[in-house]
Amino acid sequence: MDAELIATHVYTLREGDDASKAFAARALGNMACIKAATRVPIAEAGGIPLLVELLRDGSAEAKLFAAFALGNLAYNNDNEVLIAEAGGIPPLVDLLRDGSTKNAKRWAAVALRQLARNNDASQVAIAAALCLEALVELVRRDHVIFEGWFLFSNAYAGVPAGAKRKAAVVVAALLGGCVPDSARRRVPRVLKAVIGSYL
């Protein structure tokens, strides 16, 4: 029964109109929330790229439910990776920044928080997509808060803060790119002094 429903909803995401796509995204999100066992089959049926596409190009309502669905699907570790690989982080950040309702922003924040869970690469990608200040916040404090929305922290994960180190390298690259050619020789020494404690 679940497999048939998943197939129907995924087909609707692919072929339906805006209203039916929003309904399908909501239905898949509910399934992924209520029954953990549906998270992998939804991904296997091709739901994740379609939800990311809906998040990018759908109506305001469809974007909200796509974020809701992706957030629930991301409770599966493999799905976290699939969502990031499908390009899900930038449109989630866009929804968090520019969503038409507080509810849409909330679901974007929930999805981003879930994607960042114990995933260094996603933490850095999210922070970098938000703004330089968020990236620096990750380097300095090991957490990111954006416009009042707490997105993630790996300070209590019990593992070395790999995201901090990776974010420091990204910050260094960004800063290095802003240095005029006349000062280029001093860049490595200055950057090492700035970010060395995070590496």
- In sequence order, which residues have a C-beta less than 8 Å from that of residue 194 and are 6 or more positions away? 172, 175
pLDDT at 105: 96
pLDDT at 159: 46
Per residue in 176-194, is it b (16+ CB within 10 Å) or e — as a string?
A: eeeeeeeeeeeeeeebeee
pTM for this model (two decimals): 0.84
Helix and strand counts by DSSP (H, E) for the chain = 12, 2
Spans of all domains in the chain: 1-117, 120-199
Q: Give the amino acid at 103.
A: N
Q: Candidates 3.40.50.300, 3.30.70.1560, 1.25.10.10, 3.40.640.10; correct CATH number of 1-117?
A: 1.25.10.10
CA dist 55 and 36 (Å) reads: 22
Mean pLDDT of successive 10-residue segments in the chain (199 residues)?
92 96 97 96 98 96 97 96 96 94 95 91 91 86 88 63 79 70 64 60
pLDDT at 183: 63
Strands of the chain (E only): list them. 143-146, 149-153
pLDDT at 167: 83
* Residue carrying the six token digits 């005029």: 180
pLDDT at 94: 96
84-96: per-residue pLDDT in tens?
A: 999 999 999 999 9
Work out whether the CA dihedral 176, 166, 129, 155 comes out positive or negative.
Answer: negative
